[in-house]
Amino acid sequence: MPPTALSFCHSHLPRCLALVLVGTAARFKTAPGYTCGIPEEVLRLFVDTMTAEWGTGVGFDLYAPSLSEDRRARAWWSTYQRLAATPGAVAASLEMHFDLDARPLLPRISVPTLVLHQRHDLVVPVECGRYLATSIPHATSRLPQGTAINQLRQSRKRPSVGWESLTAAELDVVRLIAHGMTNPRSPLALRLSTDRPDTRGTRDDQARGMSAAPRSRPRPPGADSKLMRDCLQDQDLVSALTRR
């Protein structure tokens, strides 16, 4: 969500080299002097509908109307929802982001910024993308024809399944795990940040009845490697990947 991304970029400038905002807004809800937002009653209907039908593929026709008859894509969308979050978590996340307002931060964004927004986006009006592009100094905007994820799917060059569907970075992860690399060590090998948010619940969280995130049990040495090999079920393929 861009209000969060914009806040991070402003607060942690040395750690932000560039910013890409895709199909989003500095503020989702309409406000005085901000008519490109979405009316509150429409947002309320969106939250209620997503919460009530989450996990069934709700919203697919909004994000990908041209794929409405694609049963495989719709099934993938439903599975993604069930694996991503609970209905309650989705409602809480939407409510939080709908109340955020990052407009005061826009003139202070100094990193190179690219605004991508489909002109016929059915979820977030393209006017919100235009507002971002004109409010962030030296921002570049691209407003292609299309609706949300449709354009991304149509421009995909790789196959949708199989090893050929993985990016170079994803193959790097597979090779590391096949070598026995554990989750804590993988980011270091890939030169990724190892910073992690504090998962301990605050007093405010506890007052609202929100429990702290459970801490996972330590995995035995080699467990990640064994899991990957069990999933692959092809030792020759694992060997080929690790030799690359």
> What is the tens place of the pLDDT at every residue in 169-222?
788 888 887 877 777 776 666 666 555 544 444 444 444 444 444 444 444 544
Phi, psi of 228 (to 5 degrees): -65, -45
| Residue 192, pLDDT score | 63
CATH number of the domain that 114 lies in? Answer: 3.40.50.1820
**Of 103, 138, 154, which one is at a domain's C-terminal end?**
154
**Cα–Cα distance, 159 to 136 (Å, whole number):** 36
Regarding whether 186 and 112 lie in a shared domain, the answer is: no
Regarding whether 123 and 61 lie in a shared domain, the answer is: yes
CB–CB of 129/35 below 8 Å?
Answer: no
- Amino acid identity, position 199: T
Regarding whether 241 and 141 lie in a shared domain, the answer is: no
Regarding whether 95 and 112 lie in a shared domain, the answer is: yes
| Residue 149, pLDDT score | 52
Regarding whether 239 and 165 lie in a shared domain, the answer is: yes
pLDDT tens digits, one per residue of 106-156: 999 999 999 999 888 888 999 999 999 999 998 999 888 765 554 445 445
* Helical pair 223-232 and 168-178, crossing angle rounded to 10 deg: 110
CB–CB of 50/91 below 8 Å?
Answer: yes
pLDDT tens digits, one per residue of 24-56: 999 999 999 999 999 999 999 999 999 999 999
How many independent structural domains does the chain possess? 2
Q: 76 is in which domain, residue-wise?
A: 2-154
Residue with tokens 């977030």: 124
Q: Please name the residue ranges forming H helices in 85-118.
A: 87-98
Regarding whether 138 and 83 lie in a shared domain, the answer is: yes
Regarding whether 171 and 129 lie in a shared domain, the answer is: no
| Residue 7, pLDDT score | 85
pLDDT tens digits, one per residue of 48-97: 999 999 999 999 998 888 888 888 889 999 999 999 999 999 999 998 88
Pick the more confident residue, 226 or 129.
129
Helix, strand, coil percent content, the chain, rounded in steps of 5: 50, 5, 45
C-alpha closest to that of 153 among 56, 66, 90: 66
Regarding whether 124 and 100 lie in a shared domain, the answer is: yes
